[in-house]
Structure 1
Amino acid sequence: MAILTFTGSQHRLLLPDDIKERAMAWVRHQATNRHRTADQAPFRRLIDFWFTAIIWAVRHEIQPADQATGKLFVNLGPNTNDVRSFESWRADLLVILAVHTFGADSPDVSNTRKVIDLANRYAEAGASLLLERLERDMDLALPRLYKVADVLTELVAEGTEKRSDQTF
C-alpha cells in the first residue's frame, strides 16, 4: 500500500456546531482567545480536540456515526488557509483505523476521502461523550489541563487493568 498524504488535496474536517461551540472552551488558538494558556485550554487547536474525540470513540468501542452531519471547521490541504501540517503519526493512526474498519484488502483504505469521512464520523460519535466526561465534576478552580490529564490517566489505567491478566 502506498503512503497516503492527507494534505496533497483538500479534505474537510467536520464537527456539529453545538459540539464545536462546547469544545471551543477547551481550545487555545481562536480568533478571540489567542492568549489563553494551556492550563485554561489544553487543546492547542480544534483539530487536536477532533482527533482526541476519534480516539475516545475507538477506545470506548463507540461505532462511527452513519453519516457525518457536522459543519466544516477546517480544511486539510495544500492551500494557504488549510491546515498543511498533519503529523504523520496522526495519518498513520487514521489509516490503521481504516484498515480495522474497512478491511486490509478494501480499496477504501487507500482513498484519503473515505479515510477522512470515517474519521469525521468517529469524531462526531465520540466528541459529545468526550465533552461530557471533561465537563463532569469540573472545578472552576482547577486548570482544565489538569482535568484532561486526569481523564486521560483514568483511561490508561482502565486499559492497563483490562489487559493485566493477558499473556503474550
Structure 2
Amino acid sequence: MNAFAPVDVYLPEKYQDYFHTYCLTRTEGSRNNPEDSPFPRMVDMWFMALCLAVKEKIKPDFDHKGPTYKAINGDVFGSDLWRSNALMLLAIAHTDDVQVTDKPHEMMRVANAYAIAGLPRLITILEERGGDTALDFLSDVIEDMLDD
C-alpha cells in the first residue's frame, strides 16, 4: 500500500528548469544524457535534495512563498517502498510523534520542506562542478559525504 498515493509533490517554480536539466525524465525535445543529467526521475533529484538537507543539518523550509508547480505524482512512491519508509522515519524524527504515520499529507509536508531546503545546496553542487560531468562530480561529492 502506498500511503503517499494521494499526495502530490509541489515545488517552487524557480526550480522547475533545474529539474528538467538534471533529470532524464523526458520532455518533448529534450536530449538529456546520464552524464549531464544524473537523476533518472524527478523524484530522485527531490530525494537527493532531502537527503542533503538532513545530512548537512539544513533547516527545513516550511515557509516557502511564491508560485509552485506539481513536480511529482504521489503514485511514484508506491514503486519505492524503501523511499516511503524513509519519508515516514523522517516525519517521525522531525515531529517526535509516531502518530504522524497516520497523516500522509503531514509526512509529505515535512519531507518536502527538507527537499526544498536542500535544493539550493544540490543546485550549487551541480552548477559549480567546473569541467566535470554532473554525474562524476555528484558521485565524488556523495562519496566524500559518506566518508564524513
DSSP 3-state at the match of 1:64: coil
> Residue in 1 aligned with 2:91?
98
The 2-side partners of 1:120 and 1:143 are apart by 27
The 1-side partners of 2:30 and 2:17 are apart by 16
Residues 31-50 of structure 1: matches in 2 within 5 Å?
31-32=27-28, 36-50=32-46
CA contact (8 A) 2:59 2:114 kept: yes
> Residue in 1 aligned with 2:114?
122
**How many residues of Structure 1 are paired with residues of Structure 2 in the alignment?**
146
Query: Does 2:126 align with 1:155?
Result: no
> Residue in 2 aligned with 1:80?
none
Q: Which runs of 4+ in 1 moved over 4 A?
A: none
AA in 2 matched with 1:28 = L
Q: TM-score, normalised by structure 2?
A: 0.86
The 1-side partners of 2:82 and 2:20 are apart by 24
The 1-side partners of 2:86 and 2:64 are apart by 19
Deviations 1:30-52, CA, capped at 9 Å, x for gaps: 21355533112110111110111
Identical aligned residues as a percent: 23
Query: Does 2:13 align with 1:17?
Result: yes
CA contact (8 A) 1:42 1:145 kept: yes
Q: Report which of the two structures shows the higher radius of gyration computed on alpha carbons.
A: 1
Unaligned residue ranges in structure 1 (runs of 5+)? 78-82, 159-168
Deviations 1:77-116, CA, capped at 9 Å, x for gaps: 3xxxxx36440110011111011011134x3232111001
The 2-side partners of 1:98 and 1:68 are apart by 19
The 1-side partners of 2:34 and 2:139 are apart by 12
CA contact (8 A) 2:2 2:78 kept: no
